[in-house]
């Protein structure tokens, strides 16, 4: 059970209701069809009134030993279930779990109001239902949509536009940017500062004025302490539905497509364009001015120095097609073992 200091649980839910929330089928006709479920829990800790899930097959032993009352599973593991466990079958058990967990633990709407210790600039517009916490600073002419939560000590710069139902975490700062709706910006994220633009000149590095913005689509999530610089002239763009993890660096003029997944500590250099539904593994780095095709997959720690065609998977530094990278790794390992023997 989630720590009641931090979470309060809704429910309980009956089996039919759970199946509807999960968009899953109830397997067979369980004896305990009328039972109520009170919480979600991991397989190893779940009890008879908990709903759990199996997604990563690494946890199959935990599944077989689990005492969970009900479990969200893919069709192919139904037969491995322990006796007495009610199965909710779906092709997407993790997404189904997400829906069930959100039913038990709905994200509370922010309590509306502006703390007396927040500072709201002249001509700023705050939509109805917003919560502005202590120490938050909202700039001149900024516009915040409805039902947003601006957390403690966050800074929304002059003229910044934020859509509806957004969350801006503690200490985050936004400047020179236009943000869509249902966007989550975690603590300490830095959006819209000057890009790293210097022209080598005879008298030292000349600072290049950065005249663009950051434009963030709907349903984007931006991780803690991630940095997104504003464009130099064009905008820096993050497409709708893209999810960015912590400590990621996105340089000026980068364009990220829709539905991308960018894992922690990735770095994307200036003016690189990334298509839709691209996946970037943790700590991967991309040089500037590249074009990465839609659906490409970039392995963790890869160092991408060339354009990538749509749908291609790459790895290594410098990055090459995954198969080629793995083969090179295997060849070197074989030589090392042979020499050692």
Spatial distance between the Cα atoms of 188 and 201, rounded to a whole number of angstroms = 34
- Does 273 interact with its own copies (rule: CB under 8 A)? no
What count of other Cβ atoms lies within 10 Å of the Cβ of residue 13?
A: 20
Q: Could you give the angle at which helices 93-104 and 15-22 cross, rounded to 10 degrees?
A: 120
Q: How far is the CB of 119 from its own copies (least distance, A)?
A: 4
Among residues 28, 42, 75, 84, the one that binds its own copies under rule CB under 8 A: 42
Tokens 């500072």, located at residue: 119
Q: From residue 312, how far is each of 26, 275, 296, 298 by CA, in Å? A: 38, 12, 5, 8
Q: Which of 30, 326 has the CB closer to its own copies?
A: 326
- Does 49 interact with its own copies (rule: CB under 8 A)? no
Q: How far is the CB of 157 from its own copies (least distance, A)?
A: 7
Site stretch for its own copies (CB under 8 A), options 30-38, 61-69, 75-83, 90-98: 90-98
Q: What is the chain's alpha carbon radius of gyration, rounded to the nearest angstrom?
A: 24
Which tokens in the block code for residue 237? 């763009």
What count of other Cβ atoms lies within 10 Å of the Cβ of residue 261?
A: 16
Q: How far is the CB of 291 from its own copies (least distance, A)?
A: 11
- Does 74 interact with its own copies (rule: CB under 8 A)? no
Among residues 69, 110, 145, 169, the one that binds its own copies under rule CB under 8 A: 169
- Does 339 interact with its own copies (rule: CB under 8 A)? yes
- Does 27 interact with its own copies (rule: CB under 8 A)? no
Spatial distance between the Cα atoms of 211 and 328, rounded to a whole number of angstroms = 44
- Does 60 interact with its own copies (rule: CB under 8 A)? no
Q: How far is the CB of 166 from its own copies (least distance, A)?
A: 14
Element (H, E) at 22: helix 15-22
Among residues 216, 224, 254, 292, the one that binds its own copies under rule CB under 8 A: 224
Number of residues that bind its own copies (CB under 8 A): 117
- Does 82 interact with its own copies (rule: CB under 8 A)? no
- Does 318 interact with its own copies (rule: CB under 8 A)? yes
- Does 259 interact with its own copies (rule: CB under 8 A)? yes
Site stretch for its own copies (CB under 8 A), options 12-20, 60-68, 75-83, 195-203: 195-203
Active site residue 252: yes
246, 264 Cβ separation under 8 angstroms? yes
Provide the pairing of β-strand 119-120 with 39-40. Answer: unpaired
Identify the active-site residue in 141, 186, 205, 252: 252
Q: Burial-class residue 202 by CB neighbours within 10 Å (0-12, 13-18, 19+).
A: exposed
108-167: which residues touch its own copies (CB under 8 A)?
A: 115, 117, 119, 133-135, 137, 139, 141, 151-153, 155, 157-159, 161
Among residues 24, 51, 263, 278, the one that binds its own copies under rule CB under 8 A: 263
287-316: which residues touch its own copies (CB under 8 A)?
A: 287, 289, 300-301, 303
Among residues 13, 37, 63, 97, the one that binds its own copies under rule CB under 8 A: 97
Q: How far is the CB of 302 from its own copies (least distance, A)?
A: 9
Spatial distance between the Cα atoms of 37 and 18, rounded to a whole number of angstroms = 8
Provide the pairing of β-strand 221-222 with 261-262. Answer: unpaired
Which tokens in the block code for residue 54? 């199996």
Provide the pairing of β-strand 50-53 with 125-126. Answer: unpaired
Catalytic residues: 252
């Amino acid at each position: 059970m989630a720590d009641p200091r931090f979470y309060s649980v809704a429910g309980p839910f009956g089996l039919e209701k759970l199946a509807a929330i999960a968009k899953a089928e109830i397997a067979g006709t369980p004896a305990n069809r009328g039972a109520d479920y009170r919480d979600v829990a991991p397989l190893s800790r779940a009890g008879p009134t908990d709903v759990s899930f199996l997604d990563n097959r690494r946890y199959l032993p935990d599944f077989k030993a689990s005492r969970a009352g009900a479990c969200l599973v893919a069709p192919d593991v139904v037969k491995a279930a322990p006796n007495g466990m009610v199965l909710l079958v779906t092709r997407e058990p993790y997404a189904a779990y997400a829906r069930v967990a959100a039913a038990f633990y709905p994200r509370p709407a922010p309590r509306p109001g502006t703390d007396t210790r927040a500072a709201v600039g002249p001509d700023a517009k705050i939509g109805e239902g917003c919560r502005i916490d202590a120490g938050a600073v909202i700039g001149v002419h900024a516009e915040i949509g409805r039902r947003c939560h601006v957390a403690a000590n966050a800074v929304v710069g002059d003229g910044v536009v934020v859509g509806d139902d957004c969350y801006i975490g503690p200490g985050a700062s936004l400047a020179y940017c236009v943000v869509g709706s249902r966007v989550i910006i975690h603590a300490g994220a830095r959006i819209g500062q000057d890009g790293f633009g210097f022209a080598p000149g005879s008298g030292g590095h000349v600072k290049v004025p950065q005249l663009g913005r950051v434009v963030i689509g709907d349903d984007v999530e931006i991780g803690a302490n991630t940095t997104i610089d504003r464009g130099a002239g064009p905008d820096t763009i993050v497409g709708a539905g893209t999810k960015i993890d912590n400590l990621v660096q996105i340089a000026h003029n980068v364009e990220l497509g829709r539905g991308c997944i960018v894992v922690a500590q990735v770095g994307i250099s200036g003016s690189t364009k990334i298509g839709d539904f691209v996946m970037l593994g943790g700590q991967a780095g991309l040089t500037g001015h590249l074009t990465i095709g839609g659906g490409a997959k970039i392995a963790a720690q890869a160092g991408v120095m060339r354009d990538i065609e749509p749908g291609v998977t790459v790895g290594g530094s410098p990055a090459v097609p995954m198969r080629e990278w793995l083969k090179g790794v295997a060849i070197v390992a074989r030589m090392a073992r042979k020499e050692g023997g």
